[in-house]
Structure 1
Amino acid sequence: MDEPRHRIRALYTASTVTVYQAYGPQIGVLAAREGAFPGAWKRDRMTWIKPSFLWMMYRCGWGAKAGQETVLAVEITRDGFEWALRHSCLSHYVPGLHADRETWQREVRRAPARVQWDPERDLHLRALPHRSLQLGLSGEATRSYADEWIVSINDVTPLAHEIHALVKARDLDSATRLLPQERPYPSEEDLLAHLGG
C-alpha cells in the first residue's frame, strides 16, 4: 500500500512521542545529562523538532555536521505535541488551503508553531516520495516545550554512528533492525486538516 503524501510517523507510547534534535556537545551532552536544556539553549529562538529519525540523520549528517554532533531523542508529552500541531500553521503559502497570501501571513505572525513537510529519507538519506513532519516552535511553544512537555532526553549519537557504519558496510538489514520503530501517528482529522495532512 502506498504511503500518503503527508503523514506523521513517530516512535510513541500512550502518553509520549519522541522527537529528534541535534546540537553541539556544549548543549547536547548537558541536555542529555540533566534531562533539560541548559542555560545556553536559546528560549527566544525558533527550535525545530523532528519525529523522523532518518530525516534527522539527513539534517545532521549522521551527527557529523559542525554544531550537530550530538543527536538527542527528546521524549515529550503527546498532549504538548498535539497542542503545538493544533496551534501551528504551514511555513509556506498553499493556494486553496489558505484563503489568500495575506491571511496566511497573518497566521504565520500569530502562530506559536510552524509546520514543514519535507521528503522522508531512506537509509542512504535519499528522498522518498512521501513527506516527513518538521515542527518549528517559537514563543509560548518553545517555553512550553522546554519547561513542561519534556519527559526525557537521551543522547542517541552512538546509535546514529552504529546505524551509519552498518549502512556504509552495506548491511541494510542490520541497520533497519536498529532504527526506532516509527509508526503512523494516530491523529484526528482536526489535527492536520489545516496543515495539508
Structure 2
Amino acid sequence: MRYQEIRAEFDSKTITVYQAYNKNIALSAIKYQKFEKPFSFNRMTWIKPSFLWLMERSNWGNKSNQEYILAIKIKRECWEKALSLGVLTDPDKEVYSSGYEWEKQFREAKVHIQWDPERTLKGGKLQERTIQVGISRFLIEEYNSDWINEIVDLTPLVKKMSLLRKAGKYKEVKRFLPKERVYPLDEVIGNRIGLR
C-alpha cells in the first residue's frame, strides 16, 4: 500500500465525502440537498473521503457541533478540479522546489490539501495517510450549487455503529462500513498533491 493515497467510496459519476455538523446546519442540508445559513460561506469547509477518519474526528458523532454525520456525493469531475487546484498545507520537498514557492502558492490557493493518518475501526493511527480537502470561500458557493449530487444523513447508522462498537462488536460494525477503495487519479494531479 502506498503511503499517501485516496481511498473512497465512488461510482462512475460521484465520489462520497463526509462532513459532521450541528443539528441546524445538517437538517437544513438534508432537506434542501444543499447548504443554507447558518452554514458559513465565508470560511473554508473541509471534506474527507475517509469515513473512519471522520468518525475519529467527530468521536462517532458525539462531539459538540458534530452530532450529525453527512455523506455528500459530489461529481467526480468537480472533486478532480478541487485536487488540481490544491496546495498542500506543508512544504513537501517532493512537490515544491523551495519553501518560498510553496508559500506563494499557499497564499493564493483556493483549495488546501492535508494528509492525515488513516484510522482503524478502534481509532488507532495507521501508517497510511488519507486526504482531506479544504474548499476556500472563493469556491464554496460553486461547491454548494454545482458539485453536490446528493446529501445523505448517516446519523442514525453512525449511532447504531457507535453502540455496537462500544459493545465490542467490531465484526458487526464492519458490515456497515462504506466500501472504500483506491481512487484512480491522473498522474499530473497526483504529483501536485503528493500522492505516493
TM-score category by the smaller chain?
over 0.9
Aligned 1:148-187 pairs, distance under 5 A: 148-187=146-185
Paired letter, 2:38: A
Q: Secondary structure at the match of 2:191?
A: helix
- Name 1:16's counterpart in structure 2: 14
- Name 1:119's counterpart in structure 2: 117
TM-score with structure 1 setting the length? 0.96
Paired letter, 1:46: M
- 1: distance between equivalents of 2:95 and 2:181? 27
Which segments of structure 1 move beyond 3 Å, counting only runs of 4 or more? Answer: none
- 2: distance between equivalents of 1:28 and 1:39? 10
User: Which consecutive unaligned segments of at least 5 residues does structure 2 have?
Assistant: none
Q: Secondary structure at the match of 2:139?
A: helix
Aligned 1:19-168 pairs, distance under 5 A: 19-168=17-166
Task: Please give the per-residue CA displacement for 1:4-27, whole angstroms capped at 9, x wherever unaligned.
Answer: 111100011101001000111010
| Paired residue total | 195
- 2: distance between equivalents of 1:104 and 1:18? 29
- 2: distance between equivalents of 1:74 and 1:19? 5
- 2: distance between equivalents of 1:108 and 1:143? 21
- 2: distance between equivalents of 1:37 and 1:94? 33
- 1: distance between equivalents of 2:155 and 2:9? 17
Contact 2:14 2:73 in 1 (8 A): yes
- 2: distance between equivalents of 1:45 and 1:119? 24
Paired letter, 1:90: L
Q: Secondary structure at the match of 1:99?
A: coil
Paired letter, 2:18: Y
Paired letter, 2:83: L
Residues 186-195 or 85-94, more deviating: 186-195
- 1: distance between equivalents of 2:157 and 2:11? 20
